[in-house]
Amino acid sequence: MVNLIQNAFDAVLETNQEKKEIKVEIEDKGETLRLGVIDNGIGMDEETLKKAFTPFFTTKPKGSGLGLAIVEKLCEAMKIKIKVQTKPGEGTAIWLEMPRFLS
Model confidence pLDDT, tens digit, residues 72-100:
999 999 999 999 999 999 999 999 999 88
Low-confidence stretches of the chain (pLDDT < 70) are: 102-103
Give the per-residue pLDDT at 100.
83
Give the per-residue pLDDT at 103.
58
Give the per-residue pLDDT at 56.
95
Give how far the C-alpha of residue 54 lies from the chain's centroid of Cα atoms, to the nearest Å. Answer: 14
Give the per-residue pLDDT at 102.
65
Burial of 31 (0-12, 13-18, 19+ CB in 10 A): exposed
* Buried/exposed code over 71-100 (b: 16+ C-beta within 10 A; e: otherwise): bbeebeeeebebeeebeeeebbbbbbbbee
